[in-house]
Amino acid sequence: MRTKLAFLTEEGLTRSRNAARRIGAYAVVMFLFACASGYVIHRYWVSENLTLLQRIYFQQYLRSSWKSVLSSRKSRYAILVRTVTNPGNKREVVLGVSDNDIIPKVDDAGRLQYDQRHFPIFVLKDGIEHKRFYWAEDVLPDRVAYDWFHRAIYDDQRLIDIWRPAWLGAILIFSFGTIGLTTVDALAQRLYLQGEAIRGTRELSPKHYAREHRKEIGYGIKVFAAEGSNDPSTLETRWN
């Protein structure tokens, strides 16, 4: 017998627990799918929209980002630089280069070439002042390195800004996927319960009984002949 407080019954609680388990399983599946989707978005969207130097510096930017929390930390960084002569004191000044200053050296297949130290090979564009042009390796405070990458290479974009398409896409996929699976599950359970046999007895008024059984024309009762009869035929009586 179903009541308005069926969710408080043992059967109702059992169904609630089963529903919670299914929803948890859907959430786990969608979480894994969302993580995989976030990686795909990063690989084929975020990375593809980065400039060449942004892609090359990305691992160093990532490392300097979390290490810069400790201002006293220092690490080794490799930065593409050019030097110019200061006209005032004639000293050599080191300047970092940007994507607008360089041309990558590629092979016949269009792949970037590397030197013996495994650094990408670039040449400066015509008209760019320089005395020397090289990959500088030095130990720098992580905070200084992060500030330079953040300002000069990534146009004041933090990692969370760069990754926005990936993490936002993953959140949307997880949310809508979990809601969608839960909705389909609820619909499937509702369709299943519509065909569930009624358990126990129910008390109906004559009006409700007539409404629920308006398509019935009668009830057939099969009666078998008594044991020992020569003709064990089956008799059927219909009560109208």
pLDDT given at position 114:
93
Q: Picking from 22-26, 74-78, 118-122, which range would have the lowest pLDDT averaged per residue?
A: 22-26
Is residue 123 included in any domain, yes or no? yes
Lowest-pLDDT choice from 1-5, 58-62, 77-81, 88-92: 1-5
pLDDT of residue 220: 59
The total domain count for the chain is: 1
Is residue 179 in a domain?
no
Question: How far is CA 168 from each of CA 43, 54, 61, 97, 107, rounded to the nearest angstrom?
Answer: 15, 21, 21, 32, 37
Residues found in the chain: 240
Range of the domain at 131: 52-157
Is 79 inside a domain boundary?
yes
Give domain status of residue 193, yes or no: no
Which tens digits make up the pLDDT trace of 177-205? Answer: 999 999 988 888 777 766 554 455 666 67
| DSSP track, 123-162 | EEPTT---SEEEEEEEEEEHHHHHHHIIIIISTT--HHHH
Q: How much of the chain exceeds pLDDT 70, in percent?
A: 78
What are 130-160's pLDDT values in tens digits? Answer: 999 999 999 999 999 999 999 999 999 999 9
More confident residue, 8 or 39: 39
At 165, the pLDDT band (50, 70, 90 cuts) reads very high
Look at residue 91 and tell me if it is in a domain.
yes
Q: Which residues pair with 221 in a beta bridge?
A: 237
Give the model's confidence band at 235: pLDDT under 50 very low, under 70 low, under 90 confident, else very high: very low
In a domain, 129, yes or no: yes
Is 31 inside any structural domain? no
The reply to whether 17 falls in a domain is no
Pairing of strands 219-224, 122-124: unpaired
Q: Is 163 left (phi over 0), alpha (psi -120 to 50) or beta?
A: alpha
Chain mean pLDDT for the chain: 83
Measure the CA–CA gap between 224 and 234, rounded to whole angstroms: 5
